[in-house]
Amino acid sequence: MAYKTKYLPINKEKYIGNTKQLNCRSLWERRFCKYLDLNKNVSRWGFECLKIPYTSPLDQKIHHYIPDFLVETVDSNKNKSITIIEIKPKKQTKNPNTRKRIKLEEAIVYSVNDAKWRSAKQFCDDNGWLFKILTEKELF
């Protein structure tokens, strides 16, 4: 998923932030940009537009997590909701410590991601928002 691709929002009035081309890190992110841009239930959306502080388990210092998407939706009753969305391969969302053989790199990536996601969940809870991680299972 290290592929880089660009996306230029079509419905610029819905996009939060600069509407120049967005630098997506994967085709999955680009596809999701297009989905949000064209979805009539999405009133506003942003790509990498929010910073959430978290404590890294590697150095116990404060770092900033930048989630992939911030999405505001409106339901049929005109109720608004905000969701922070992270797109990740399913294998990066599974705790490797449950397996017999663990690769150190996988354990490190998971522990940092878990710290980011716990902070994002708390941030969302504090603000009445939702936090979701989407994998290839939900995207496709």
pLDDT tens-digit map of 57-70: 999 999 999 999 99
- Position 77, amino acid: N
Domain count, the chain: 1
* Chain centre to alpha carbon of residue 99: 26
pLDDT value, residue 99: 67
- 119's torsion region: left (phi>0), alpha (psi -120 to 50) or beta? alpha
CA distances from 5 to 21, 50, 101 (A): 10, 21, 34
| pLDDT tens digits, 80-125 | 999 999 999 998 898 887 767 778 888 899 999 999 999 999 999 9
- Domain hosting 62: range is 5-139
Split at pLDDT 50, 70, 90, the class of 1 is: very low
Helices and strands counted in the chain (H then E): 3, 8
Q: What is the domain-level CATH number for residue 37?
A: 3.40.1350.10
Predicted structure pTM score: 0.89
Is pLDDT larger for residue 76 or for residue 117?
Answer: 117
8 contacts: CB under 8 Å, gap ≥ 6: 19, 20, 21, 22
Least confident span in 51-55, 61-65, 73-77, 91-95: 91-95
Q: CB–CB of 117/86 below 8 Å?
A: yes
Whole-angstrom distance, CA of residue 88 vs CA of residue 135:
5
Asked whether the predicted pLDDT for residue 3 surpasses 60, the reply is: no
